[in-house]
Amino acid sequence: MATRIDKEACRDAYNLVRDDNTDINWAGFKYEGSTIVPAGHGADYEEFMSLCTDDSRLFGFVRVTTGDAMSKRAKFTLITWIGENISGLQRAKISTDKTLVKDVVQNFAKEFMISDRRELEMDYIRNELKKAGGANYDAQAE
């Protein structure tokens, strides 16, 4: 059966993360049968990490504040989580299903495909976004 996405519900969650007037900084999207639906959203990134179990596969849209002493800015990332206990067929299918998610989640600075919990750590994500972000005025202080 072909995978579908609840575009309206997922777009609402996506827009909450993009909205500068909310403290929501992540939204998750999970499989419910053959449909991708919102898995939740919140202000605490640890909550998103708790969804990423060995038996789950999901997508996350995360707002990360990056920058340096000269400028702070919001960067967005798309995370694809594939737990260790996910079958080979489901692993392969998530790559094609990601195109459905990208129809909703269109603006992000960097994309991650993660199976290792250490790569989910906010410090790792922030450092990778900083590398991709261009000018770094903190380097002048070194």
Give the 3-state DSSP-derived string for 56-124, with helices as H, strands as E and coil as C. CEEEEEEEEEEECCCCEEEEEEEEEEECCCCCHHHHHHHHHHHHHHHHHCCCCCEEEEECCHHHHCHHH
**141 within some domain:** no
Q: Are 77 and 59 in contact (CB under 8 A)?
A: no
Tell me: the pLDDT tens digits for 55-108?
Answer: 999 999 999 987 667 777 889 999 999 999 999 999 999 989 999 999 999 999
- Please tell me the predicted confidence (pLDDT) of residue 40: 96
Token pair of 45 as six digits: 């990134």
Is residue 139 in some structural domain? no
pTM here is 0.89
Domain that holds residue 25: 4-133
Q: What's 64's domain CATH number?
A: 3.40.20.10
pLDDT mean across residues, the chain: 90
Residue 141 predicted with pLDDT over 50: no
Per-residue model confidence (pLDDT) at position 123: 93
